[in-house]
């Protein structure tokens, strides 16, 4: 996924000491997108994660041209329980959502559930409002449909957020909580 946080500057947001580092993997991404298109892959789906956020995005043939063809779909899953309790939005959300190809962003903890059927894929972003104590209810924050042979996302559910609305509302933990207690 390409992230643009300023009109003249392409950046990849990397959470290292809360800095934003210049985007370094443009050539690799370009090779992958070229492989999809050159081989005529009908609608590739990219699954990734480990950035403590949920995201869903259209992968464009040319990220500099918002009107360019959507060649694949990307789902990024958060962690189920690491770190603090999540929130529906955090300080990076508005920067990510400024990118037209990004269709969903959320920083609650949870996972992405997929239902794969020959003619379509349904993805459900399942989230919990807290992880620092036991008993958190799970809910579906958003769902997307990707049809076979038609890359891209169609949002089919956008449910109200659960738990905290913004990350600055989250107090630090008083003491670690073990899920095994």
Task: Say yes or no to pLDDT of 91 above 60.
Answer: yes
Element (H, E) at 70: strand 70-77
- pLDDT number for residue 13: 40
Model confidence pLDDT, tens digit, residues 118-150: 999 999 999 999 998 889 999 999 999 999 989
User: What contacts 112, CB < 8 A, 6 or more positions away?
Assistant: 47, 54, 75, 77, 123, 124, 125, 126
In the DSSP assignment, the letter for residue 101 is: T
Reported as a pLDDT band with limits 50, 70 and 90, residue 41 is confident
Conformation bin of residue 129: beta by default, left when phi > 0, alpha when psi is -120 to 50: alpha
3, part of any domain: no
Per the listing, tokens 């920083």 go with: 107
Model confidence pLDDT, tens digit, residues 23-39: 446 777 788 888 888 89
140: domain range? 42-168
- pLDDT number for residue 56: 95
Average pLDDT score over residue span 111-123: 95
How many structural domains is the chain composed of? 1
- pLDDT number for residue 180: 44
46, part of any domain: yes
Average pLDDT score over residue span 97-117: 92
88, part of any domain: yes
CB of 146 closer than 8 Å to CB of 120: yes
Tokens standing for 151? 């890359």
CB of 146 closer than 8 Å to CB of 161: no
User: What contacts 169, CB < 8 A, 6 or more positions away?
Assistant: 87
5, part of any domain: no
- pLDDT number for residue 181: 41
- pLDDT number for residue 1: 53
Percent of the chain with pLDDT over 70: 78
181, part of any domain: no
10, part of any domain: no
């Amino acid at each position: 996924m390409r992230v643009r946080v300023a009109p003249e500057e392409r950046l990849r947001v990397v959470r290292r000491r809360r800095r934003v580092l210049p985007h370094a993997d443009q050539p690799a991404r370009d090779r992958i997108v070229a492989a999809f298109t050159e081989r005529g892959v009908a609608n590739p789906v990219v699954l990734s994660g480990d950035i403590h956020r949920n995201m869903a995005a259209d992968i464009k043939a040319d990220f500099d041209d918002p009107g360019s063809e959507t060649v694949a779909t990307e789902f990024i899953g958060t962690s189920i329980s690491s770190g603090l309790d999540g929130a529906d939005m955090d300080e990076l959300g508005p920067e990510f959502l400024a990118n037209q190809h990004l269709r969903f962003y959320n920083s609650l903890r949870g996972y992405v559930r997929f239902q794969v059927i020959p003619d379509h894929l349904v993805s459900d972003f399942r989230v919990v409002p807290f992880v620092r104590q036991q008993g958190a209810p799970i809910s579906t924050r958003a769902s997307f449909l990707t049809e076979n042979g038609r890359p891209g996302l169609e949002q089919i559910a956008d449910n109200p957020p659960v738990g905290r609305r913004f990350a600055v509302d989250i107090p630090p933990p008083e003491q670690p909580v073990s899920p095994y207690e």
